[in-house]
Structure 1
Amino acid sequence: MKNPRPTTRRTFLKQSAAVAGLSQAPYFVSSSVFAKPNRPAPSDRITVGCIGLGGKGRRNMTEFAKEPDSEVVALCDLDQAHLKLAQETLAGVKGSPTVSKVTRDFREIVSDSGIDAVSIATPDHWHALTTIAAAKAGKDIYCEKPLANSVMEGRAMCEAAQQHKVVLQTGSHERSRSTIRYACELALNGYLGEIHTIRIQMPTDQAHHMQARELVSMPKKQEVPEGFDYDMWLGHTAEVPYYEERCHFWWRFQLAYGGGEMTDRGAHILDIAQMALGKDRSGPVRFEAKGTRNESGLYDAFMDFQFVNTYDNGVKVVGDNSGPRGLELIGSDGKIFIAIHGGKLTADPVSLLDINLAKEDYILGRSPGHFRNFLDCVKSREEPVATGEFGHRTSTICHLNNIAMITGRTLEWDPEREVVLNDPEANGMLLPKMRHPWSI
């Protein structure tokens, strides 16, 4: 690279600061703004209630249980088998469990005055309802990615967190990796030259993808297992027959409950693209996408896809379902590939990775770990590294790519007003129909 700090660097920073305030910057707020009479003192332990205890929920529960200043005191899941396994898992982590509440109703968790924060790892279609209820009850919230299962649900979640002055952290943990933050700093400070393209790779060739592809007919009629509240699991979605293949891990391949690979991995990979571009509080203005999915059967999420997202500055994010999983930041003076998950960096030229940032460069800062960052922010009342707003903006990109594939049309998007400018039908897909009695 001829010039490790090209002239475009200062221009980029000046424009970013003027237009977006370098939107991905840590946002510090005085703790007095968020003061609550019943908020625990910083020296006290943070009590955590865990809602949703499938595989990811149990892993999150374990992470919170390991932290010296947090205590998992309540467990919630609609499946009795999950609750039993979570209790056994927690006992192995803590030695002597401190759980005082085990329930199948999340409302018992959020209404408990003895709980400071909640971890939400339900299927995606339950993120909004549980998060909004928790925010109204004054709980700080760690919610898994994608933040929401629709654009308007995500906005409602962010508004609830802001209105009730609670911390909302999205579980996009790749943001906490130091290598990834360094790569984004190189991009933000112009060391790659002018970024013109970001290449996104989200392969759909793992065993679970293959299983989903092979289910091309509807499963046979099944009885709801004892101990599983299936009607509550459906929540605001349509009343439909129970199939084992519909629930638990497999919900992610059905658009009523998740968004397929586009939201499952896109919530990680597209999130880093947003951070690298300094667009955390905004997003693309045009969405072009095409994809294929099963014509019959239970799973209607797109398994093969190509998309192009264009930002107002002309940068294009180009992606498909090929591998290896990750993203490549491509600039006029070099490029960096970021592996997801793991955060390994590969650069061309390789000397990019030897750059020491200058004193006057913009620094993202480092996270002590995603769960640790959340707990620290519960105490300090600072904004976490993956705020609800950041998570909402990323999940919005994922949902609009899916909507573009469903409609087969290019969408012109206003990221400030959050409306589709050229397609009334697509606008109608920003919020799903909700079955009584649930609503946001």
Structure 2
Amino acid sequence: MERRKFIKQSAASAAAFTIIPGAVLGRNSATPANSKINVAFIGTGKQGCILQNFFKTRTSETITVAACDVDSQKLNKFIGIANEANKEHGNSVKIFATKHYREILERSDVDAVVIATPDHWHAQVAIDACKAGKDVYCEKPMASTVAEGRAMVNATRKYDRVFQTGNMQRSSFNFRQACELVAGGYIGEIKEVNAGLGGPVVACDLPSMEAPANLDWNLWVGPSPYRAFHPELSPPVERDIYPNWRNYRNFGGGMITDWGAHMFDIGQWGLQMDNSGPSVYIPPKDRATHGLKMIYENGVVLNHVKLPFGNGVEFIGTEGKIEVSRGHLKTMPNEKLAKMEIKPEDRKLYFCENHYQNWLDAIKDRSKPISDVEVGHRTSSLCNLANIAYELERSLQWDPEKEEFIGDASASMMLSRPYRGEWDFMDY
């Protein structure tokens, strides 16, 4: 589709599109109990199928009406899963399938999109979706650069969209409890936070191979610099794994962004820094993969480390310590804090127990969900700045309000990345 035509149609769609009954978009709380939200999935590989299952089992208010993937076999597998989910919810709509996501954004029967593409596609797809008047659920890490993240925030606000980022740990008990205890002062003044996760991004040195016929490889690469196919980047449908594109520059950000979007995010949440971030980044030397020290303006130190309990977070305060992961929550010296009930009137943070229903509720009442686009941006920015620090191996001064490095022109050049061909995330 011609770009000018898409932009013209998107502008009209953003102005005229109705999500569910008009009372909802009119900020009226009167939402019919039986209303459904028509959702399209963009990216139908491993994570797309997982998210489809979550929306099936944890909500009952969506209908999958469209799906997009550049791999026809993965798309066909997803359509089968989505058809079963629709039937379980009493719907039998014919799901529109395509490899061109903009064809989905043109459709008036799509209210919202779930973006589960590889990371390098997030910004372009999400911004185009906002322009087309669609609400957005975008997998983490939200953005591959600071510039992309800020553009995603700006587009969301400009087109008045509801945007949930897939930092779903905020909607689980262990992490919510830990962060509430931190925010409530139960372990005193926080001095240090240790985030345990894997290492930074690396260059992609995989050998070139011929792409299979079912995969549009040029479209998979999309806005990133072109390189040839390798199955580690896009494995066949029968190899049901999390693909390793996430390890390589231009497609992912290593474990720094993949798990940092979870664990650094919890550090940010507990410290109540969702609109800010560290102002100093001090990396280790000799291509070390751990040891980065990040310092907030209030003096709190966030360390990138390996923890004995795996991927997780450790909060260290003047009166105690909290260890938390998906399967572990320990409070010291008062072990009872881990299971202590925090009453609603004592809560300091956004309370949510269902990340997916929370997004749908926010769509209906036009509110901000728990992992709003600004939250996703600040967390992905921290991750991306960490990768820059590891790459440059020198201390960096960062202004979290202006979102710029202080006195470092070469580091500043790494805050964005060139886009290939017709793609332009700044066109919103």
| Range of TM-score over shorter length | 0.7 to 0.9
**Are the aligned partners of 1:134 and 1:140 in contact in 2 as well (CA < 8 Å)?**
yes
Q: Using the alignment, how far apart are the partners of 1:292 and 1:60 within structure 2?
A: 39
* Residues 1:250 and 2:249 aligned together: no
Deviations 1:331-380 (A, max 9, x none): 000111111x34x3111011333545477634324313111111111101
Structure 1 unpaired stretches of 5+: 1-33, 294-301
Question: 1:38 — aligned with what?
Answer: 18
Letter in structure 2 aligned against 1:154: G
Task: Identify which of 60, 63, 85 aligns with 2:54.
Answer: 63
Deviations 1:75-118 (A, max 9, x none): 10000011111022223434465343100000011111110000
Tell me the secondary structure at the aligned position of residue 228 of structure 2: coil
Deviations 1:278-316 (A, max 9, x none): 1001101011123777xxxxxxxx8x3221110010000
**Are the aligned partners of 2:79 and 2:95 in contact in 1 as well (CA < 8 Å)?**
no
Deviates more, 1:45-54 or 1:94-103: 94-103
Task: Identify which of 329, 336, 345 aligns with 2:322.
Answer: 336
Question: 2:79 — aligned with what?
Answer: 87
Q: Using the alignment, how far apart are the partners of 1:57 and 1:91 within structure 2?
A: 14
* Residues 1:183 and 2:178 aligned together: yes
Instruction: Give how far 1:35 is off.
Output: 10
Q: Quick one: structure 1 residues 227 and 428, their matched pair in 2 at CA, closer, same or farther if it must change by over 3 Å?
A: same
Tell me the secondary structure at the aligned position of residue 346 of structure 1: strand
Q: Using the alignment, how far apart are the partners of 1:57 and 1:418 within structure 2?
A: 32
**Are the aligned partners of 2:75 and 2:97 in contact in 1 as well (CA < 8 Å)?**
yes
**Are the aligned partners of 2:130 and 2:156 in contact in 1 as well (CA < 8 Å)?**
yes
**Are the aligned partners of 2:19 and 2:37 in contact in 1 as well (CA < 8 Å)?**
no
Deviations 1:108-132 (A, max 9, x none): 1111111000000000010000000
Question: 2:372 — aligned with what?
Answer: 387
Q: Quick one: structure 1 residues 198 and 83, their matched pair in 2 at CA, closer, same or farther if it must change by over 3 Å?
A: same
Question: 1:281 — aligned with what?
Answer: 275
Question: 1:105 — aligned with what?
Answer: 100
Deviations 1:182-227 (A, max 9, x none): 22111112111000000111147xxxx9xx99x99642x4211102
Tell me the secondary structure at the aligned position of residue 385 of structure 1: coil
**Are the aligned partners of 2:281 and 2:395 in contact in 1 as well (CA < 8 Å)?**
yes
Q: How does 1:132-211 map to 2 (within 5 A)?
A: 132-203=127-198
Q: Quick one: structure 1 residues 358 and 373, their matched pair in 2 at CA, closer, same or farther if it must change by over 3 Å?
A: closer
Instruction: Give how far 1:412 is off.
Output: 0.4
Tell me the secondary structure at the aligned position of residue 267 of structure 2: helix
Instruction: Give how far 1:162 is off.
Output: 0.4
Question: 2:70 — aligned with what?
Answer: 78
Letter in structure 2 aligned against 1:282: S
Q: Quick one: structure 1 residues 105 and 360, their matched pair in 2 at CA, closer, same or farther if it must change by over 3 Å?
A: closer
Tell me the secondary structure at the aligned position of residue 246 of structure 1: coil
**Are the aligned partners of 1:49 and 1:75 in contact in 2 as well (CA < 8 Å)?**
yes
Question: 1:424 — aligned with what?
Answer: 409
Q: Using the alignment, how far apart are the partners of 1:169 and 1:384 within structure 2?
A: 6
Give the CA RMSD over aligned residues: 2.4
Q: Using the alignment, how far apart are the partners of 1:345 and 1:421 within structure 2?
A: 38
* Residues 1:234 and 2:221 aligned together: yes
Task: Identify which of 270, 291, 299 aligns with 1:306.
Answer: 291
TM-score by length of 2: 0.85
Question: 1:347 — aligned with what?
Answer: 331
Q: Using the alignment, how far apart are the partners of 2:391 and 2:356 within structure 1?
A: 36
Q: Quick one: structure 1 residues 35 and 276, their matched pair in 2 at CA, closer, same or farther if it must change by over 3 Å?
A: farther
Q: Using the alignment, how far apart are the partners of 1:393 and 1:287 within structure 2?
A: 15
Q: How does 1:3-18 map to 2 (within 5 A)?
A: none
Tell me the secondary structure at the aligned position of residue 318 of structure 1: strand
* Residues 1:131 and 2:117 aligned together: no
**Are the aligned partners of 1:196 and 1:315 in contact in 2 as well (CA < 8 Å)?**
yes
**Are the aligned partners of 2:63 and 2:86 in contact in 1 as well (CA < 8 Å)?**
no
Deviates more, 1:413-422 or 1:179-188: 179-188
**Are the aligned partners of 1:65 and 1:71 in contact in 2 as well (CA < 8 Å)?**
no
**Are the aligned partners of 1:223 and 1:242 in contact in 2 as well (CA < 8 Å)?**
yes
Instruction: Give how far 1:37 is off.
Output: 6.4
Structure 2 unpaired stretches of 5+: 1-13, 22-30, 236-242
In the comparison of the two structures, how many residue pairs are matched? 388
**Are the aligned partners of 2:188 and 2:319 in contact in 1 as well (CA < 8 Å)?**
yes
Task: Identify which of 258, 274, 277 aligns with 1:264.
Answer: 258
**Are the aligned partners of 2:38 and 2:63 in contact in 1 as well (CA < 8 Å)?**
yes
Instruction: Give how far 1:325 is off.
Output: 1.3
Q: Using the alignment, how far apart are the partners of 1:37 and 1:244 within structure 2?
A: 39
Q: Using the alignment, how far apart are the partners of 2:108 and 2:386 within structure 1?
A: 40
Tell me the secondary structure at the aligned position of residue 317 of structure 1: strand
Tell me the secondary structure at the aligned position of residue 424 of structure 2: coil
Letter in structure 2 aligned against 1:330: I
**Are the aligned partners of 1:203 and 1:322 in contact in 2 as well (CA < 8 Å)?**
no
Task: Identify which of 357, 377, 381 aligns with 1:372.
Answer: 357
**Are the aligned partners of 2:283 and 2:390 in contact in 1 as well (CA < 8 Å)?**
yes
Q: Using the alignment, how far apart are the partners of 2:206 and 2:271 within structure 1?
A: 43
Letter in structure 2 aligned against 1:376: D
Deviates more, 1:244-253 or 1:387-396: 244-253
